Homo-oligomer: A and B are copies of this chain.
Amino acid sequence: MNVDYINPFLTSTISVFQTMLQCKLERGTPYLKNGAQAKQEVSGVIGLSGKAQGIVVLGLSRDAALGVAESLLQERPTEINADVTDAVGELVNIIAGSAKAKLEHLNMSVSLPTVITGKGHSVEFPTKVTPICIPFLSPWGEITVEVGLCEHGAETAVAAKGM
C-alpha cells in the first residue's frame, strides 16, 4: 500500500483526538469509498489546495458530535448547535492542517471548514476522485475520515494503487 498520502491523515486524526480531546481512537482498515455513501448526521468538511487539490470529511454520528463538543467545552450541549458545529469544524481544520504539514512537497493550504448537519445527508466527491475512507473506533462508536486528493493532472485517487 502506498501510504504516502493516507498515513498523514490517519496519524493526525489519532494524535489530534488524543491531544485535544484526550480520546484514544482505534484505527480500522482504510478502504476505497465507492458507491454506497455513509449517512452520518454531522460532517466536518475542509478543502485543501496547492500542488494537489483535496477534501477531508470527518463523519460523526449525533452522539459522537456531542461527545467531541463535550470533551472540548467541558460541558455537554443538549443539541447540535453552533458550539457543536464550531467544535467539529475546528477539529477537521486541525486534522487537515496537521496532515498537510506532513505532505510538504504538495505545498497545500486549507480552506475554511464547513459543517453539514441533517439526518441522512451524504457528502459526494467528484466521480473522478475515489476517496479513501479511514474508519476509527471511538468511545462514541465509529467515526470516519474520508480523504480525496487529486494531484494536478492526475485523475485518480490518492494512494489507490496498491491498496
Contacts and interface: CB of A to CB of B under 8 A. Distances in A.
A68 to B, nearest CB: 15
A113 interface: yes
B54 A112 contact: yes
B86 A113 contact: no
Copies of this protein in the assembly total 2
Given A47-B48, A124-B82, A111 B114 contact: no
A35 to B, nearest CB: 10
Contact of A49 (B109, B114, B115, B123): B109
Interface stretch (A6-14, A20-28, A125-133, A136-144): A125-133
Interface in A42-77: 43, 45-50, 53-55, 57
14 contacts: A43-B116, A49-B109, A50-B109, A53-B110, A53-B112, A54-B112, A113-B126, A115-B123, A115-B124, A116-B116, A116-B121, A117-B122, A118-B118, A119-B120
Given A49-B50, A109-B109, 10 more contacts: A47-B111, A49-B108, A53-B109, A55-B114, A85-B124, A112-B125, A112-B148, A116-B121, A117-B121, A118-B122
